[in-house]
Amino acid sequence: MNRKIFVTGATSGIGLECARAFAQDGDNVLIAGRRADRLAAIKEDFEQQYGIRVDTLVLDVSKREDVDAKVKPAIEAFGGIDVLVNNAGLAQGLDPFQDSTVEDAVTMINTNVLGLLYVTKAVLPFMIDKNEGHIVNMGSTAGIYAYPGGAVYCATKAAVKMLADGIRMDTIATDIKVTTIQPGIVETPFSEVRFHGDAERAASVYAGIDAVQPQDVADVVLYVTNQPKRMQITDVTIMANQQAAGFMVHKK
Ligand SMILES: NC(=O)c1ccc[n+]([C@@H]2O[C@H](COP(=O)([O-])OP(=O)(O)OC[C@H]3O[C@@H](n4cnc5c(N)ncnc54)[C@H](OP(=O)(O)O)[C@@H]3O)[C@@H](O)[C@H]2O)c1
C-alpha cells in the first residue's frame, strides 16, 4: 500500500506483529522502542523479507525530552506519516493496590498515558497539516473492566480510551481518524514484564487458554486502517473465546 506507518513498542509482541502486518501489506514502517539491538535486527529482517523501507527510532516514550527531541526529525526523515500505532505500554505488578509500589504505578502512568500523550502531541501536527491520518491506540479490556491487582494499569488503559475519544472530537473538522483497540489476554512477553522477569508465573497466565496471539490483534489493526475514507472504526474489543471480562477466563 506504500503508506508511512509509525509503530511505538515495535520490538516485541503486538507492536512487532503490527509492524510486520503493515510491512507485509507493502507499507513502510518507522519502528520505535528502547532496545536498539532488536530494532536493528527487525529492520534487517523486514527489509529483506518484504522489500519495504524500515526506519528505526530508539525512543523511551515516557521521557518527554526524548520524544520532543526525536519524533519530529524522525518523521521528517521518513517523509511524513499516515498511521500512528500508539502501542508502547506495560503493566508492572499484580499485587493489591495497598501492597503495590508507587514506583510501579508511576512507570505505568508515565509510559501508558504520558508516553502516548507525548508521542501523539508530536505526531498530530503532521496529520493536521495534511488534513488526514489515522491514530490507533492500544487500549485494553483492562480499560473497560477493572480487575483485582490491576487498579493502576486499568486506570491507564481507561485513560487511553478517553484520550482517543477526546482527540477524535477535537479533530472532528479534519479527516483524521482515531481508533482504540481493546484486546483482552494476548500471549506476548507482557506478563513476563508485569512479573518483573518471572517466566514461570507469566506462563501460568496463558496456561489452559487458547489465548489470542499478537498476530490476531495485528490483523485487526491492519483492517481498521484499510477502510474507506468515509468510515472510521472507533473501537474494537478482542478477547479469547474463553474470556468474558477483564480477568474472567475459563481455563481448560
Ligand atoms: N498482552 C496483553 O495481554 C495485552 C492486552 C491488552 C493490551 N495490551 C497492550 O498492548 C501493548 C503491547 O504490549 P505487548 O503485549 O505486546 O507486550 P510486550 O511484548 O512486552 O511489548 C511491549 C512493547 O512496548 C515497548 N515499551 C515499553 N515501555 C516503553 C517505553 N518506556 N518506551 C518505548 N517503548 C516501550 C517495548 O519495547 P522496549 O522494551 O524495546 O522499549 C515493547 O516493544 C501495551 O500497550 C499493552 O498494555 C497487551
pLDDT tens-digit profile of 129-178? 999 999 999 999 999 999 999 999 999 999 999 999 999 999 999 999 99
CATH topology classification for 4-238:
Rossmann fold (3.40.50)
For the CA of 89, the nearest atom of ligand 1:
45
> Where do runs of H (alpha helix) occur along the chain?
13-24, 36-50, 64-78, 102-108, 116-130, 151-170, 190-194, 199-206, 214-225
Please give the pLDDT value at position 64.
Answer: 98
Residue nearest to atom 39 of ligand 1 (CA): 34
CB-ligand 1 contact for 47 (6 Å cutoff): no
CA quadruple 30, 35, 40, 42: dihedral sign: negative
Measure 197 CA to ligand 1 centroid, in angstroms: 14
Grid cell for residue 220:
485487526
> How far is ligand 1, taken at its centre, from the CA of residue 188, in Å?
9
* Residue from 63, 85, 120, 188 whose mutation best tests the ligand 1 pocket (most atoms within 8 A of CB): 188
153 is catalytic: yes
Q: Which atom of ligand 1 is nearest to the CA of 62?
A: 31
Which stretches of the chain drop beneath a pLDDT of 50?
A: none
From 50, 118, 153, 206, active-site residue = 153
pLDDT at 134: 98
What is the predicted pLDDT for the residue at 252? 86
Do residues 37 and 16 lie in contact, with contact meaning Cβ atoms separated by under 8 Å? no
Which among 61, 79, 200, 82 is positioned nearest to 136, based on CA atoms? 82
Q: Is the CB of 156 under 6 A from ligand 1?
A: no
Question: Is 246's C-beta closer than 6 angstroms to any atom of ligand 1?
Answer: no
Q: Where are the domains of the chain?
A: 4-238
Q: Is 202 in the pocket of ligand 1 (CB under 6 A)?
A: no
pLDDT at 1: 81
In the chain, the amino acid numbered 76 is: E
DSSP 182-203: EE-SB-STHHHHHTTT-HHHHH
